[in-house]
């Protein structure tokens, strides 16, 4: 069996692409994070759908207008909305390269998030003390699952925020830290959008039933 020979001075045939396409640094990070947010959207969509199905199954237990305290929930909502504003200030400071300002606004954002969690835990403890725990009815099971899942996301967001504060303090506003801050910004504003849905669909409509 004869082997093919390459004439002198001729180039060997290339069967694959030698020049790779240019990829921006961190581009895959943002794409991956968007995919994660889409998967989170599916999770919350299922939780909202479950609440829509079971939200009227009281099993002789308390109904939404009997247990929901709108002034407390409104205060909680304002905490989360204000945290989005302060995170926006942190991003503006990042664009100006102000490390101290970024850390300061992140700290304020974390305090608002912590206040949101404290009010939510207080609401849960009050409901359980009144005998309106998640095991009481399908409505309360769906309520605790939906609101609790959102609260768990806020908890993870605060942990992530504190971690970024440490990283920015140690390494400054390097490109990697800026990408991380942008990802957390998307996550934090996403949680705000979900909470607006919870406030409207669960609390407001629940009281009006």
Exposed, middle or buried: residue 168 (CB in 10 Å: 0-12, 13-18, 19+)?
A: buried
- The pLDDT score that the predictor gives to residue 27 is 61
CA pair distance 33, 37, nearest whole angstrom? 6
pLDDT in tens, the chain (209 residues): 455 565 665 565 555 555 555 555 566 888 899 999 999 999 999 999 999 999 999 988 899 999 999 999 999 999 999 999 999 999 999 999 999 999 999 999 999 999 999 999 999 999 999 999 999 999 999 999 999 999 999 999 999 999 999 999 999 999 999 999 999 999 999 999 999 999 999 999 998 87
Exposed, middle or buried: residue 14 (CB in 10 Å: 0-12, 13-18, 19+)?
A: exposed
Number of H helices, E strands in the chain: 7, 0
- The pLDDT score that the predictor gives to residue 208 is 85
Reference 149, options 80, 95, 201, 198; nearest CA is 198
For the chain, first and last CA: distance in Å? 86
- The pLDDT score that the predictor gives to residue 13 is 58
CA 59 to chain centre: 33
Distances (CA, A) of 118 to 11, 127, 168: 70, 14, 27
- The pLDDT score that the predictor gives to residue 155 is 97
- The pLDDT score that the predictor gives to residue 30 is 86
DSSP state at residue 62:
-
Tokens representing 56? 């009227």
**Dihedral angle, C-alpha 163, 168, 169, 170, nearest 10 °:** 90
Q: What is the pTM of this model?
A: 0.86
Reference 197, options 139, 122, 147, 130; nearest CA is 147
Residues 6+ apart with CB under 8 A from 50: 142, 145, 146
């Amino acid at each position: 069996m004869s082997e093919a020979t390459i004439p002198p001075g001729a180039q060997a045939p290339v069967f694959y692409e030698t020049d790779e396409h240019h990829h921006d640094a961190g581009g895959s990070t943002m794409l991956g994070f968007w995919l994660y947010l889409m998967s989170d959207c599916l999770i919350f969509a299922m939780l909202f759908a479950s609440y829509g199905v079971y939200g009227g199954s009281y099993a002789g237990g308390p109904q939404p207008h009997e247990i929901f305290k709108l002034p407390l929930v409104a205060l909680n909502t304002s905490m989360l909305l204000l945290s989005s504003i302060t995170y926006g200030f942190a991003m503006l400071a990042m664009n100006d390269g102000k490390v101290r300002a970024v850390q300061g606004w992140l700290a304020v954002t974390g305090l608002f998030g912590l206040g949101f969690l404290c009010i939510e835990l207080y609401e849960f403890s009050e409901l359980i003390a009144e005998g309106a725990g998640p095991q009481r009815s399908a409505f309360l099971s769906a309520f605790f699952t939906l609101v609790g899942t959102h609260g768990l996301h806020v908890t993870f967001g605060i942990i992530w925020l504190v971690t970024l504060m440490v990283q920015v303090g140690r390494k400054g506003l390097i490109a990697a830290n800026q990408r991380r801050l942008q990802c957390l910004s998307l996550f934090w504003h996403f949680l705000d959008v979900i909470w607006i849905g919870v406030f409207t669909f669960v609390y407001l409509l629940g009281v009006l039933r």
